[in-house]
């Protein structure tokens, strides 16, 4: 065990906490064409990086600005474009 503090992790965590306090919390949801929430975005798969959709209690929550950025990034993926053809779309919502 090392007594060294990883300052990069501390800085990232401090930035995340500051954003949560100033912006509020958000999450990404999969919305049907009728406007109903079909699923919530969970933590990405560590091996493939694919998005995994889960129930509300397992959803990934974060600062709203990062949630919006992630939703925009995910909308450009081939799987999101295919879902859009099927009537689903990704949306960042305030939690």
Residue at 57 is within a domain: yes
Residue at 65 is within a domain: yes
Q: Return the pLDDT at 1.
A: 53
pLDDT digits (tens, 9 = 90+) for 5-40: 677 888 888 888 888 788 888 899 999 999 999 999
Quote the pTM value. Answer: 0.74
Q: Which two tokens stand for residue 93?
A: 């919502």
Contact yes or no for 16/62 (Cβ under 8 A) = yes
Residue at 17 is within a domain: yes
Residue at 69 is within a domain: yes
Q: What total of structural domains would you count in the chain?
A: 1
Q: Which one, of 35, 25, 27, 51, lies nearest residue 89 by Cα? A: 35
Residue at 1 is within a domain: no
Residue at 79 is within a domain: yes
Per-residue pLDDT, averaged over 48-66, amounts to 85
Distances (CA, A) of 59 to 10, 13, 20, 29, 51: 24, 19, 16, 9, 11
Which residue did the predictor score with more confidence, 50 or 40? Answer: 40
Q: Return the pLDDT at 91.
A: 93
Domain that holds residue 76: 7-94
């Amino acid at each position: 065990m090392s007594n060294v503090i990883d300052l990069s992790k501390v800085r990232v965590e401090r930035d995340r906490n500051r954003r949560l306090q100033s912006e509020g919390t958000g999450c990404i949801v999969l919305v049907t064409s009728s406007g109903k929430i079909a699923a919530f975005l969970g933590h990405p798969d560590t091996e493939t990086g694919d998005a995994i959709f889960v129930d509300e209690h397992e959803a990934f929550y974060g600062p709203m600005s990062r949630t919006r950025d992630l939703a925009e990034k995910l909308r450009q993926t081939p799987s999101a474009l295919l879902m859009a053809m099927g009537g689903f779309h990704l949306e960042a919502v305030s939690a």
